[in-house]
Amino acid sequence: MTAAARPYNFDRFDRQHVIEDVERTMRGAGVAPGGFAPDFSLPAIDGELFTLSAHRDRPVLLRFASYT
């Protein structure tokens, strides 16, 4: 199975995930400093919609986290 065919929500963590994380780090995946942060609107846990671009009054520390 190729990396592209692997589902985003995977059932089992495996060695290929480790390899993909290392590869993404080495090639600089993500938004480089100086680039504009992609805007998004996502629900908060209370159901309210949070829009990134609506919060420019102060810097934002945006962290991506998993429960597991």
Partner 1 sequence: MYAEVGHAVRFVDVVVRQGHPGPAVPAYRHAAQKRVDAIRFVREEDIPWDVVIDELDGRVHAQYGLLPDPAYLIGTDGQVAFYSYWTHVPTLRDAIATLLAGGGKGVIGEQRLPHPLAALADGWRAIARGLPQSADDMEAAAPGSTLVLKAGSLAKPLLAPWSLTSRHWSRPRVAAALLIIGVAAVGLSLVRSSRQLRA
> At closest approach, how far in Å is the CB of 1 from partner 1?
15
The residue with tokens 């089992």 is 12
13: alpha, beta or left? (left if phi > 0; alpha if psi -120 to 50): beta
Binding mask 6-35 for partner 1 (x = CB under 8 A): -xxxxxxxxx-xx-xx--xx--xxxxxxxx
What residues from 34 to 63 belong to the interface with partner 1 (CB under 8 A)?
34-40, 42-45, 50, 52-53, 55-63
d(CA 49, CA 61): 18
Residues that bind partner 1 (CB under 8 A): 7-15, 17-18, 20-21, 24-25, 28-40, 42-45, 50, 52-53, 55-68
